[in-house]
A and B are shown apart, each in its own frame.
Chain A
Amino acid sequence: MNSPMSPARARLTRIFMLAGLLLAMARPAAAVVELDITRGTLKPVPIAITAFTGNTATEQKLGGDIAGVILSDLERSGLFAPVDRAAFIEKITDPGRTPRFADWRVINAQALVVGRVTREGNGRLKAEFRLWDVLAGTQLAGQQFFTRGKNWRRIGHIIADAVYQRLTGEKGYFDTRIVFVDETGAKDKRVKRLAIMDQDGHNIRMLTSGGALVLTPRFSPNSQEVTYMSYEGGRPRVYLLNIETLQKEIVGDFPNMTFSPRFSPDGHRVVMSLQQGGNANIYVMDLRTRRTSALTNTPAIDTGPSYAPDGRRIAFESDRSGTQQIYVMNANGSGQLRISRGDGRYSTPVWSPRGDLIAFTKKIGGRFLIGVMRPDGSGERILTEGYHNEGPTWAPNGRVLMFFRETPGAAGGPRLYTIDLTGYNERAVATPSFGSDPAWSPLIN
């Protein structure tokens, strides 16, 4: 007899059948061993960067030069170890074809950069590159760029940024510039000029003539303007300079000295110190309305203001407690709170572009240290120390700091250095003469 099932029973049967089917399909738990790998090494990634190919001799020369820029950028980051070109087995003739990975594995390369340069009409330059994972045998990135012929170094930096970002996950910082104070002449008669260069020290250009003392240049968020302090006209004032047109203007018309300026992250305001008798307080000026307002009002020296990347808070230094210490306040001046708690004097706070850290200069026992701490003052770490280190500035990805270090003696003077957050990768930055007060630009593009 075939009696019809009740709907409830039919549903139940279906559920059981489905469950049975799922059970039948499910594979037995295959993996037996499960391990947690909680430590790795900090070894730089071995990377092979081949000379970019080209059809003509000029293109090939340019291809070699561009590869040289990429190699030097990645090497200086400390995260990559370029493989010696003499060890290369495969000669790349067509960057469009898959390379012979075995040839690159043999020389212990883990990543491979290949590319091609083509000169197009109207002076344009086309550069394309591919980044290969040698061990996995896969392409990780591939892009092409166009630019004017004389910008070939920039193409190298942009490609280095792309490689850096793909392999580390964070944005690069190679396509950036540094504005700093170029110092020439004897120690007692120094000529200080505002200068700008690529982050690797190339393409240097003077922005001021050297007639007046200049200090503390800072980039605007769009990298087109620089704000700095100059003794031009005999009185120290904060200026704004367009780095393309070299037009400049005074920021605010204050009767007294203004110094230590810095842009807000949106570029609409400049925050700076204003001298008031023996004291100094922090003021903010809106660049559109030209209105200024005081953020601090204490019988002490409050200076060195630096915005958090979200523009909501400002870090600054003050000696209101008796010695220089770092404080944090809201962007309207409320909620002022001391965050530096260690021994010694703290100055020049600079908020990281990614917001997680504040860099500072610390003076203790006659030595100057560059360090970082969290915005609540915890986790203080010293990255480097020396006779005189000062003026840290962040790379746009918040991973590297540039600062200047002064050497003692009559022949001594300031030089620029970079150090990364690990504190291990310290490099000198090549400048034609002495250099101080560096400021790192945001990424140009």
Chain B
Amino acid sequence: MRKGLAISLSAHAAILFWAVAVFPSARDLDMAAQPIPVEVVTSAEVSQLKAGKKDAEKTRTAALQKRETPKPVKAKEKKKEPTKLKRVKAPAPAPKPRGPSEPAPKPVAETPEPKPEKKAKAAPPLPMPLRKPASAPKFTEALKPERKVAKAKKPVKKAFDPDRISALLDKRPDSGALQPAAPERKPLPPKPAQGLAQGRDAQMTLSEIDALRARISQCWSPPTGGLGADAIKVKLRLQLDSDGMLANRPQVVNRGGSPFFLAAADSAVRAVMLCQPYQLPATKYALWKDMILNFDPREMFGG
């Protein structure tokens, strides 16, 4: 009994001493040491910049062209260019794989490199799903001779072939379909985090959500003016395919018996159908393939 008490007392004293000795040193966390410059930008501003307007495109391209022209002058600095300007560069690397004579000297390893770039660049400006086989065969045809040449010239690398071939196979639907989401969904097992909820991109960013909201708002003409029409809310569930098209007819989740509700629900369904296809980040397909939209026109009427 006494022995136990002694052990307990000494242990408590030791902990107390340790706490007094150690904690004070944990204080000096100098927060103000390095101020970080912060610019406050609302999500709406960001999404507006990203969404842009048709009229604005001209000036933007003009601006880009201006940037383009100095590039050749600064030919040495090409490697240092920031990632943002990659889009402008697009035309430059493109001709490389096209040239029929060029692939011969290049190793197989090089061919995969320009193509992912092409995938990334080509995808954003072309929202229309081009599943037509017409364009795909061209690329496959173009690839076949490449492979043959490569195999013929470099049989030494046979050991790596299975991986490379699978990599090539991955790219074919990309380059053919110019479709952002489809290839990532099916043939890419080595990237388990892509499009999954556990991935790092597991949340839609505010600007992505804001852009989507702005787009649907533009498609929506709610019935206005009816007495109490502003109090009617419609909850809609939509399921999207990876190409941004509706997978099926949107479901009205809530219920209402009045003719106003019927008209409001119809207008909401029309809006989401009219807004197709939705251009959303392909890597987050798992997040946006199933969405709930609450149509609530109160703000429109100053409520």
Contacts and interface: CB of A to CB of B under 8 A. Distances in A.
A binds B: yes
Interface of A: 30-45, 79, 110, 133, 135-136, 140, 165-170, 354-356, 398-399, 420-422
Contact of B288 (A33, A42, A167): A33
**Interface SS of A by simple majority:** loop
Contacts of B300: 38-40
Given A31-B292, A37-B216, 5 more contacts: A33-B292, A35-B216, A37-B268, A39-B217, A355-B227
B120 interface: no
A38 B298 contact: yes
B279 to A, nearest CB: 15
A167 B224 contact: no
B237 interface: yes
Nearest to B233: A36
Closest 9 A/B residue pairs (Cβ): A169-B263, A169-B260, A40-B220, A170-B226, A34-B292, A38-B299, A135-B273, A168-B223, A40-B222
A170 B218 contact: no
Contacts of A136: 249, 266, 269-270, 273
A42 B292 contact: no
A35 B204 CA distance: 11
B260 A41 contact: no
A44 B221 CA distance: 7
Interface in B258-303: 258-264, 266-271, 273-274, 286-288, 290-300
B255 interface: no
Contact of A35 (B213, B263, B286): B213
Contact of B291 (A35, A41, A421): A35
A410 B222 CA distance: 45
B209 A422 contact: no
Contacts of A422: 224-225
B269 to A, nearest CB: 6
Contact of A33 (B223, B266, B287, B297): B287
A43 B270 CA distance: 13
Nearest to A357: B227
Contacts of B298: 38
A167 B221 contact: no
A406 B270 CA distance: 42
B229 A38 contact: no
A169 B229 contact: yes
A356 B262 CA distance: 22
A35 B269 contact: no
Given A45-B221, A136-B269, A39 B297 contact: yes
